[in-house]
Amino acid sequence: MCYGAAVTKLFEHAVDVARVLPPEVQDDLARVVLELAGEDQPVVELTPAEEEEASFEGSLAQADCREFATDEEVRVCLGEARALKLQYSRPMDRLKSASARNAHPVR
């Protein structure tokens, strides 16, 4: 890797590792680095989509009517959430194993 100005080996290694991350994660990391370097970043406003708002309103209406999920429905949802957590944790596991294979000493 070649930079116009000198960078530390650790920073160079961090950039090399970040290259294999998905583009949206790379952008998030870039914003953090720029913010830490003193370059203000635009505020990202999170607004729910229409279907999310409708779902939320429906949930509030169900709560008002005291309509709650059964224990079994909660268990099913938690099982799905755990499966998603495993699915989304795997890319980091792959990243760690790829980093270990490509690791070079950081000095």
pLDDT in tens, 32-84: 999 899 988 887 777 777 878 888 888 899 888 888 888 888 888 888 777 76
pLDDT of residue 72: 87
- The predicted pLDDT at position 52 comes to 83
Q: Is residue 100 pLDDT above 80, yes or no?
A: no
pLDDT at residue 104 is higher than 80? no
Q: What is the pTM of this model?
A: 0.39
Q: Is the pLDDT of residue 107 over 90?
A: no
Predicted local confidence at residue 78, as pLDDT: 85
Helix (H) or strand (E) holding 9: helix 9-18
Q: What is the pLDDT of residues 82-99, one digit of tens each?
A: 776 665 655 556 556 555
Residue 99 · residue 17 · CB < 8 Å:
yes
> Given this model, what pLDDT does residue 97 score?
59
